Amino acid sequence: MDDAHHFARLLGGDSASVQMMETVPDPCTEQAAREWIEMRSRPSGHVFAILRTEDHEFLGSIGFGGSLEVSTLGYWIGRPYWGQGYATEAVELAVEMARLLGILKLHAETFVNNTASSRVLEKAGFRNTGSYTRDFPTRGGSRTTCSYELELE
C-alpha cells in the first residue's frame, strides 16, 4: 500500500501508458492505486515493486497469480525507465520465483500495439501462442491482444 503514491507519480499523468495495461485505473490516482494493489494482494497473488538496485528507486510493479497449473503474469515500468532493461530483468526474476513456488506455466498478454512488452516476454523465453480480440470496456471496447506462455516444469 505504501507504494500507491509511486503509481500515481509515474502513471497519474500518463494515460497513454495506462491504456496499454488491462486493469490499472485511468486516471491512476493514489486512491485508485491503493484499490488496485489491495485486489492483487490476496493469498494466491504475488505482487512486487520493481526497484533499481543502486538507489532503490521505484520503477514499476510486477506480479503473478492464479493456480499452480497456470498463473498470469503482469508488469509495468514507468515511462522514464523504458528501454533500459528493467522490465526484462524483472520478468526473468518473476519467472524464477514462480518456478520456485511450483507454478507449472505462466501466461501473459499484451495489447497488439505494445511491441516493447512483447519483446520483453520473448527475451524471457515466453512463446507467442496467437492473438485474439475481446472486449475491454475500461480500454475503449474491442482490443486485440497477443497471448504468451512459458512452461516452467
Q: What is the pLDDT along the chain (153 residues), one digit of tens a residue?
A: 789 999 999 999 888 888 888 888 888 889 999 988 888 777 778 989 999 999 999 999 999 999 999 999 999 999 999 999 999 999 999 999 999 999 999 999 999 999 999 999 999 999 999 999 988 888 888 999 999 999 998
Domain span including residue 21: 4-151
**Cα 52 to the chain's mean position, in Å?**
17
**Rounded to two decimals, what is the model's pTM?**
0.90
Number of domains in the chain: 1
Contact 60, 20 (CB under 8 A): no
Say which CATH number the domain at 103 has: 3.40.630.30
User: Sheet holding 58-66: strands in order across?
Assistant: 45-51, 58-66, 71-77, 105-111, 141-151, 127-136
